[in-house]
Chains A and B, each alone.
Chain A
Amino acid sequence: MKLVIGIVRPEKANDVLEALYRAEVRGVSLSRVEGHGGELERVETYRGTTVKMGLSDKVRFEVAVSDAFVDPTIEALREGARTGEVGDGKIFVVPLERAVRIRTGESDESAVTPVVN
């Protein structure tokens, strides 16, 4: 059981969601974050004030999956988020100690397994 964290461009977030859906990964959280990944800094000017914007908007996906789904999730994130330019983002996989589904109290593997409707 792993937590897959993907930090991607906001304009690619929809593509990632589509790719995750195709990979049959269900259960996703995403949040808007700001970050810097070595991409070119944008220069902006407001009247006399010129600034370099060091942080870019990013979207952070968090997907908790059972081991069999780790690779498909990574593949989906890569496929959806890649443009080939610096700033496409990163994927981090971290071990997950415990997971509980609030509604039923199921824990661990069964908590991260999608409900079959």
Chain B
Amino acid sequence: MGALGAVLPIGQIDTGDTAWMLAATALVLMMTIALGLFYAGLVRSKNTLNTFMMSVSAIAIGGVVWALIGYSLAFDGEGALIGGLGHVGLNGVGFEPRGDGTVPHLVFMAFQGTFAIITAALVSGAVVERMRFGAWMIFAALWSVLVYAVLAHWAFGGGWLAAQGALDFAGGVPVEMGSGFSALAAALVVGARKDYGRQALLPHNAVYVLLGAGLLWFGWFGFNGGSGIGANDASVLAFVNTMLTPAAALLTWFVLDLIRGRRVTAIGAATSIIVGCVLITPAGGFISPGWALVLGFLGALPCYAVIVWRPRTRVDETLDVLAAHGVAGFTGILFLGLVAQIGWNGVADGLFYGDAGQFWSQALAAAVAPAYAFGVTFVLLKAMGAVMPLRATEHDEAVGMDVVYHGEEAYASGEGAILVAPDADGEVLVGDPS
């Protein structure tokens, strides 16, 4: 660790570190609500609430599953493939630090829990506007154990990927590639919306999209800036890089938009903020601020290409989780293998600074994480599909998910609404909310 880290006693609670990690945890939890807003703006108005609720439900399900089993599988012990059951139900997670950490184990667990939550919510972007709400919640619970906890263990819970030297600062493996390539599998299994490719299905509120992206960026300072697990050099570097890379990605996106359509688009800008934040996620605490800018400029290119190409395919990966998270996470994890500098991170050099082995470790992570996430999600949804319908009926899809699954509208006018006694019988439901 750097100068600031060196003066701290290791394995003892540091109040400064703890204070920052408490704040960072709250910032990351807010990101899931910000994501709900971002996604809600990108769908049609009749699906606003359902899209938002997929993110909200990820907090309910992801939070509980994390405390019960997910945290233990991700962070208990040094097993190569999966953690142990020692922390099931938060057993043994208290005020003492974990290992040689400087913050209470409880804070560490909560911080990591907010990552599990937002990652499940990210996957929902692939299946909005047609997946059944009940099926989604069952999927989110199983996915956060079978995919997220396993990848988190590999990347930073003591599993084989970290053991063989792969670096992942804040979740390029479990969060970004984990969600992005799972999203692709989910879109393939659940299938396209009924009107996809026939009608223009447009975002209904670009202001939500921009505001959601802005709040995600704000929260990302806790996500990356907290991944040094303290107020230390690594966190400071990641925090600053989280300002720089998205700014560079925004600028690149403006130029690409200008070249392609002769106009700078607002939804493109919102997208590029996410792309920039994702690019720097794996690399944040490992690369210099100068390289962070370069990462923003260059890393935006493959993501832009996939975003332009994907809607020309028959794959209705609706909100482009693959491009914004999968491809950006993949790019960031490889880039860090090129430009990591021991002078900045105290851990490892990349290929450009003399350690080709680091690049190959990163390449391994970039190959394995997408394959695992895609494969397990594909099989999981196929298995679920064999025992329950995954998607709404065509009728319900036409009516809209908000009325069918939630009995509410995002923009109810109240005109023509007749008050009903709360205990009135013979309730009439439009569609099948099961």
Interface residue ranges, A against B (CB under 8 Å):
9, 11-12, 14, 34, 36, 40-46, 48-55, 83, 85
Contact = CB atoms under 8 A, between A and B. Distances in A.
B383 interface: no
Which of the listed residues B395, B408, B409, B430 has the most CB atoms from chain A within 10 Å of its own CB? Answer: B430
A43 B198 CA distance: 31
Contacts of B413: 34
Contacts of B429: 42-43
B398 A43 contact: no
B399 A52 contact: no
B399 A51 contact: no
8 contacts: A14-B199, A40-B430, A41-B418, A44-B403, A45-B407, A46-B412, A48-B422, A52-B418
A50 B422 contact: yes
Given A9-B398, A11-B398, A44 B412 contact: yes
Contacts of B428: 40-43, 52
Contacts of B430: 40, 42
A83 B429 CA distance: 18
Interface size range on B against A: 20 to 34
Interface string B381-412: 00000000000000100110001000111001
Contact of A44 (B198, B199, B409): B409
Contacts, number: 63
A49 B418 CA distance: 10
A28 to B, nearest CB: 17
A47 B209 CA distance: 27
A54 B416 contact: yes
Contacts of A46: 408, 412
A11 B399 contact: yes
Contacts of A41: 418, 428
Given A12-B398, A42-B403, A49-B419, 20 more contacts: A11-B399, A14-B195, A14-B198, A34-B413, A42-B429, A43-B420, A43-B427, A43-B428, A44-B403, A44-B408, A44-B412, A45-B407, A46-B412, A48-B422, A51-B414, A51-B418, A52-B420, A54-B416, A55-B415, A83-B395
Contacts of A51: 414, 417-420
Contacts of B417: 44, 51-55
Nearest to A44: B407
Contact of B408 (A9, A45, A48): A45
B412 to A, nearest CB: 7
A43 B418 CA distance: 9
B416 A55 contact: yes
A12 B398 CA distance: 9
B432 to A, nearest CB: 13
B6 interface: no
Contacts of B199: 14
